Amino acid sequence: MTLAVIGLGFVGLPFALVAAKSGQKVIGVEADKKKYDTIRNGKVPFYEPKLENFLKETKDKTFEVTNDINYAVSNSDIIFLCVNTPENEDSSVNLTYLKTAAAQIGKSIKKGNNEFPVIVVKSTVPPQTTESLVKNTLEEFSLKKVGEEFGLAMVPEFMREGSAVNDIQNPHLVVIGTNDDKTDDRLTSLFESIYQNSKPPTLHTSIVNSELIKYVNNAFLATKISFINTIANICNNIPGANVETIAEAIGRDPRIGKLFLNAGPGYGGSCFPKDLSDFVNYSKSIGYNPLLLESTQQVNQTQPKKIIEIITKKSGELHGKQIAVLGISFKKDTDDIRQSPSIKIIHQLLELGANVKTHDPKALPNLKKIFSDKLVYCTDIAKCLKDTDLCVILTDWDEYQSLSADDFIKNMNEPRVFDTRRIINPEKMLTVDYFALGYGN
């Protein structure tokens, strides 16, 4: 089978290249000229470990990139919709790109000779979107009937930025949401081919359940993060308390699990903030006010402010102080700064009159697009620390874990470190003023 992947962003490109690496013939479609040119030239338009190597190994072999959606659809058996579904100003989900792509696909399969093409929504969409907007648009423009002349499905992705390739290659679960057996059989066969060696567990369900699974999955993980951040904030006010010890203990309870219990400045990225907001709005639209999820949002929205409160309590007036910020991306191993708590914290530091120097292994070019000349950008950690009065660690990059007390003492005016991720061993920091989120004193 030949696959078309429409939209080569953070979801579409990793999936397309993993499928191509497994031996599937994949045609990737990217409408954005800059992204298209970058991929055509053998480069990845964002940072993701292993992905550029996968592109080099598959390009012009099992992977082909085009900006012609009609060509891709006409020559494919299964078409994956991985287009962006951003937020509108009122926090509702914007489905414009999805509808446009569905209309283009409909036109292509109308005049094409594809025998029962299968269209798969992989973008995160509100429940009932696939069976209403996508289905209706496809039928309108193709003049064909779903389930009779083409298949329709929803297959959510569960990959994490920074480990996308590994997560797609080794999924904890494959969810196939369909409403007819023929479509289900085609997709089952495809994923058996992609995962012929690992054979991950597969859940066969309806389209609406598949849509819900994605939202509920992200909502639960976001709630788990806000929960442990709440506990960390409590621990800050209790002498001797240690949020890591508490997380270790409760994480060993099989009813809880250890993942996503790492307290920090809050969750960010393209998924959790947007998906939770979309899910809250959707729930309200069907007559239910999800108070728990709104509380999760509130904790996350106020966590950067809480970080500033802790800094000012420990360091006093920030006006005129030189502050080094280590870590800009919302998590390590990505250059993605969308909804990163670091951005919110930097804004607040500037508003308080601080002078800010920044370092990040990958995200500085994206940071410059926001702050321009308001910050000092350093590609070297020592230069970022030089002549500063406070260092704030906001992202858990491996480079920061190896820092020692001497690195701060020899470079900073005043060796004071606030480690929001607790990635430095406190025993290495006994000769500096070190404090961390979730450590009481």
Is the pLDDT score of 88 beyond 90? no
Report in angstroms the alpha-carbon separations of 337 from 161, 254, 342, 359, 364: 11, 33, 8, 13, 9
Which of helix, strand or coil describes residue 6? strand
Is the pLDDT score of 111 beyond 90? no
Is the pLDDT score of 181 beyond 80? yes
Would you state the pLDDT for residue 151? Answer: 97
Is the pLDDT score of 311 beyond 90? yes
Q: Does the fold of domain 218-436 match that of domain 2-205?
A: yes
Positive or negative torsion for Cα 56, 157, 186, 100: negative
- The residue annotated as part of the active site, out of 271, 378, 384, 391, is 271
Would you state the pLDDT for residue 113? Answer: 79
Token pair, residue 414, equals: 């005043």
Would you state the pLDDT for residue 235? Answer: 96
Would you state the pLDDT for residue 53? Answer: 97
Report, as an integer, the average pLDDT of 392-417: 96
Query: What is the rounded (10 degree) CA torsion for 433, 342, 372, 385?
Result: 20
Report, as an integer, the average pLDDT of 346-350: 98
Q: What is the pLDDT of residues 201-236, one digit of tens each?
A: 999 999 999 999 999 999 999 999 999 999 999 999
Q: In this structure, are residues 107 and 94 in contact, taking their beta carbons and an 8 Å threshold?
A: no
The 10 Å Cβ neighbour count of residue 320 is 10
Is the pLDDT score of 368 beyond 80? yes
Is the pLDDT score of 441 beyond 80? no
* Confidence grade of residue 305 (pLDDT, cut at 50, 70, 90): very high
Q: Is 235 a residue of the active site?
A: no
Q: Per CATH, the architecture of 2-205 is what?
A: 3-Layer(aba) Sandwich (3.40)
Is the pLDDT score of 412 beyond 90? yes
Token pair, residue 440, equals: 């009481």
Is the pLDDT score of 288 beyond 80? yes
- DSSP H helical segments within 125-199, as ranges? 135-142, 164-169, 181-194
Q: What is the pLDDT of residues 127-180, one digit of tens each?
A: 999 999 999 999 999 999 999 999 999 999 999 999 999 999 999 999 999 999
Q: What are the boundaries of each domain within the chain?
A: 2-205, 218-436
Q: In this structure, are residues 334 and 301 in contact, taking their beta carbons and an 8 Å threshold?
A: no
Average pLDDT, the chain: 96
Would you state the pLDDT for residue 8? Answer: 98
Q: Which CATH number fits domain 218-436: 3.30.70.260, 3.30.390.10, 3.40.640.10, 3.40.50.720?
A: 3.40.50.720
Would you state the pLDDT for residue 198? Answer: 84
Would you state the pLDDT for residue 206? Answer: 98
Tokens 């992905």 — which residue?
Answer: 51
